[in-house]
Amino acid sequence: MRYFIELSYRGTAYHGWQTQANGISVQVTLEAALTQRLGIPIYVMGSGRTDAGVHAKQQFAHFDVDEPLPLTEAFIYSINCILPEDIAIHTIFPVGPKDHARFSAVSRYYQYHITRQKNAFQTSLTYHFRPHLDVERMNEACEILRQHSNFKSFSKARANVTHFNCRLDFAYWQYTNDDCLTFHIKANRFLWGMVRTIVGTMLEIGQGRMSLDQFEKIILAQDRTVAGRAAPANGLYLIDIGYPAKVLQERTVQALVSAEHGETLSG
């Protein structure tokens, strides 16, 4: 049987999502907790890889087991007690044998958070960036970005992919309050390091160090060396993974049942 896990994590202490030879990853930590709780080796496949220090408000992964799991609130609570405090499982639900956390996903939505004022409690969760930014000009750059589909210039050079095309659904900057500026971007897929490099390049535009014509030339060049520096990982969040309704139908059923019984599936 195949199950999906919906989880969130603070990525500060981890070398990204994927198993790494040189550090602890979210994937390895999650697998260890599931293995301990179920008493059998468990291997998970995530919807995508987040880099070291990147956070996820919503991430999905799948794993396979031979026997049905007791999907009660107490069962999920018991796994969350094994996990460290910076990883939380929200729900586990059954899916079809061919449903895949990565390949069944139809969209990913990221946010990048920038604060102008230093905050001792947000150091690892936002990028403290003091210079004045022309947000209107940065949003004009977003409109240019949406006119293109090849984003090789914003991908890490060692990216192991067959193509660099992505379909952008939206991209824009917005002040959530006087202090916090947030970049929103959603696409069917993202390249390795793509969002952080776009943010870093747009910060150059916002400071008046790069024109909109130069920005479009960078996109057309399809060359990572001409784009700006990647923004730090601590401001980046994976917000939402989109799936066809049929993949998530059992998750919806479980939520309704739990609501009727006054329970919660959250960790």
pLDDT in tens, 151-184: 999 998 666 788 999 999 999 999 988 789 999 9
Catalytic residue among 51, 86, 169, 178: 51
Residue 165 DSSP code = B
Q: What is the value of pTM for the model shown? A: 0.92
pLDDT value at position 265? 47
> Does residue 189 share a domain with residue 69?
no
Whether residue 231 sits in one domain with residue 124 = yes
Q: How is 96-152 classified by DSSP, letter by letter?
A: -TT--TTTT--EEEEEEEEESS--TTSTTTSEE--S---HHHHHHHHHHHHT--B-G
State both tokens at 71: 């999907």
Residue 265 lies in a domain: no
Instruction: Specify the pLDDT at position 257.
Output: 61
Enumerate residue ranges in the chain where pLDDT < 70: 157-159, 255-267
Between CA 49 and CA 51, with CA 50 as vertex, the angle to 5 degrees is 115
CATH assignment at residue 145:
3.30.70.660
Total structural domains within the chain:
2
User: CA–CA separation, 151 vs 221, rounded Å?
Assistant: 10
Q: 156 with 48, same domain? A: no
Does 219 lie in the same domain as 251? no
> Residues annotated in the binding site for substrate, as ranges?
110
pLDDT at res. 256: 65
Query: Tokens 């929200």 belong to which residue?
Result: 90
Residue 162: helix, strand or coil by DSSP? Answer: coil
Give the pLDDT score at 267.
41
Same domain, 152 and 214: yes
Residue 98 near residue 182 (C-beta atoms within 8 A): no
Active site residue 64: no
Residue 212 located in a structural domain: yes
User: Two tokens at 123?
Assistant: 């150091």
Q: Which domain holds residue 226?
A: 108-238
Q: Going along 19-100, which residue ranges are E strands?
A: 45-46, 55-64, 87-95
C-alpha 90: how far from its chain's center? Answer: 16
User: What pLDDT, on the 0 to 100 scale, is given for residue 119?
Assistant: 86
Residue 144 confidence (pLDDT): 97
Contact assessment for residue 130 and residue 115, using Cβ atoms and an 8 Å cutoff: no
